[in-house]
């Protein structure tokens, strides 16, 4: 008998347990649906509902959902619930909606008589309250339903035709390929200067930049300046203030050098891969040609565009071999390059200058080799100039020859006629070594890597060219 009694008690306890589980699941589903309707009403109307109708719930007297005997939304936005659980206990629950900054709902619970079952399952942490309302009293606290007025009659529309608005002016696109006055890029210690040499040198723009390796750092096409910086080619419109560098679509390796050839941009990687790009529509750069330079262990000493051809001067890193190489490429109208000529010669070449019929090769301590075009379109050395220190560059115009001789500065030679020998007529020394020369109608520009001086043709002095201030680097 005892065993039977224990078995009966176990079955009854298990039945109550199953009943509690089933009712918990049922109540949770019902409460989720009620709260979901409440949230939808808020999202549709932009405010918390004030009565059952706004939340699309039945009237309080007919709003029974299983164990939930009544649901009332009161005018203070609270949700009133009357629940009778499986134990027979009746509970009143007041849920106050709250919303955080992320538009997420939470519910603050209060109850005057919450049953133990509901407190352990669905409303854990519910706070006690002294407020007790009957279903009728809660219903009376609903917000009044606003009567629906008659829809306003449509008034006849007055058709007024207005003229179309003027088109909005679009920002002027950056167009590197448009014509612009010739300007020169000078690399300074703390940035890049864009200078005009139509008369006395004038600094027109300055782009502050941290300079680490000035060779092949920048190129200018039209009014647009292109710069290698980090792993990208950057660009800026020098006619816009303030000057702001923007990234192009081209990724490069550190050590890549860039040059301009007409309206195309040329860049050469440290692995001697040569690219030519169309830059008319930055930031996109369309690669129109690429080739691998076969230098056979030589280093690239100089890149220059002269007489409409691209010249690549290369030499071995050590002067023991005493051999150099000049590759000449024809630049086609579409930007592609065609290898036209290869010229090998003795000497440790540092730079070259070409102006028909002359080809000047600066051979360092071995001096300057002056070559002339032969009948079979090759060059033959006709004269040479000895070096005082180390010849880095040279320019010839008519019967005047300018030579950059490193620490010896700028040396000027003249001759009476092409048949006469060269005679030294002037020498200018500077506070920096003379590496590069550029000739202009009114004078000669003498440069080291980042320092520059202007030597006018009609004076004996020299003007140091430098930015007026040292702005902070970009």
Q: How many CB atoms lie within 10 A of CB 458?
A: 6
Q: How far apart are the first and last CA of the chain?
A: 96
Helix (H) / strand (E) element for 431: namely none
Q: Are 129 and 114 in contact, with CB atoms under 8 Å apart?
A: no
- Could you tell me the mean pLDDT of each successive run of 10 residues in the chain, 474 residues long? 64 71 87 87 83 89 88 91 90 85 75 91 88 88 70 57 62 59 84 88 87 84 88 87 85 90 87 87 84 85 85 79 85 79 86 90 92 82 93 94 95 92 92 93 91 83 76 41
**7-140: in CATH 3.30.700:** yes
Tokens representing residue 321 in the block: 């071999």
Helix (H, G, I), strand (E, B) or coil at 450: coil
Helix (H, G, I), strand (E, B) or coil at 251: strand
Burial-class residue 352 by CB neighbours within 10 Å (0-12, 13-18, 19+). Answer: buried
Cα-only R_g, the chain: 44
Residues 6+ apart with CB under 8 A from 140: none
Q: Cis ω on the peptide bond leading into residue 242 (within 30° of 0)?
A: yes
Domain residue ranges of the chain, discontinuous segments joined by +: 7-140
HSE of 101, CA atoms in CB hemisphere, 13 A: 0
Round to whole Å and give the CA distance between 212 and 190: 10
Strand ranges of the sheet holding 393-397, from the earlier edge strand across to the other edge = 393-397, 400-404, 410-414, 423-428
Q: Are 287 and 321 in contact, with CB atoms under 8 Å apart?
A: no
Round to whole Å and give the CA distance between 369 and 359: 8
């Amino acid at each position: 008998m005892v065993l039977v009694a224990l078995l009966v008690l176990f079955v009854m306890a298990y039945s109550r347990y199953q009943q509690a589980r089933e009712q918990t699941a049922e109540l949770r589903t019902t409460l989720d649906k009620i709260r979901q309707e409440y949230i939808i009403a808020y999202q549709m109307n932009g405010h918390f509902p004030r009565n059952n109708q706004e939340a699309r719930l039945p009237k309080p007297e007919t709003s029974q959902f299983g164990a939930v005997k009544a649901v009332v939304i009161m005018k203070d936005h609270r949700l009133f619930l009357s629940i009778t659980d499986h134990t027979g206990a009746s509970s009143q629950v007041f849920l106050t909606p709250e919303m955080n900054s992320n538009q997420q709902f939470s519910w603050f619970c209060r109850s005057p008589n919450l049953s133990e079952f509901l407190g352990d399952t669905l409303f854990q942490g519910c706070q006690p309250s002294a407020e007790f309302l009957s279903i009728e009293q809660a219903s009376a606290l609903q917000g009044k339903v606003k009567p629906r007025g008659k829809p306003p009659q449509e008034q006849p529309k007055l058709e007024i035709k207005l003229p179309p608005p003027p088109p909005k002016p679009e920002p002027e696109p950056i167009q590197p390929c448009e014509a612009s006055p010739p300007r020169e890029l000078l690399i300074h210690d703390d940035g890049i200067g864009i200078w005009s040499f139509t008369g006395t040198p004038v600094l027109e723009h300055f782009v502050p930049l941290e300079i680490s390796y000035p060779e092949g750092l920048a190129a200018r096409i039209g009014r647009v300046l292109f710069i290698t910086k980090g792993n990208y080619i950057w660009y800026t419109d020098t006619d816009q203030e303030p000057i702001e560098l923007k990234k192009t679509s081209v990724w490069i390796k550190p050590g890549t050098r860039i040059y301009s050839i007409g309206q195309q941009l040329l860049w050469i990687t440290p692995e001697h891969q040569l690219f030519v790009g169309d830059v008319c529509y930055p930031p996109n750069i369309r690669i129109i040609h690429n080739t691998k330079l076969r230098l056979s262990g030589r280093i690239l000493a100089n890149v220059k565009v002269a007489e409409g051809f691209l010249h690549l001067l290369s030499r071995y890193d050590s002067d023991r071999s005493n051999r150099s190489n000049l590759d000449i490429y024809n630049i086609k109208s579409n930007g592609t390059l065609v290898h036209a000529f290869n010229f090998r010669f003795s000497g440790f070449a540092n730079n070259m200058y070409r102006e028909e019929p002359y080809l000047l090769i600066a051979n360092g301590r071995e001096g300057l080799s002056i070559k002339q075009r032969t009948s079979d379109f090759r060059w033959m050395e006709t004269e040479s100039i000895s070096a005082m220190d180390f010849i880095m560059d040279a320019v010839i115009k008519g019967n005047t020859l300018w030579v950059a001789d490193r620490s010896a500065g700028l040396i000027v030679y003249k001759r009476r006629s092409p048949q006469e020998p060269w005679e030294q007529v002037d020498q200018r020394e500077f506070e920096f070594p003379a590496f590069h020369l550029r000739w202009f109608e009114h004078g000669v520009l003498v440069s080291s890597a980042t320092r520059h001086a202007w030597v006018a043709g009609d004076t004996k002095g020299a003007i140091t060219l430098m930015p007026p201030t040292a702005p902070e680097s970009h």
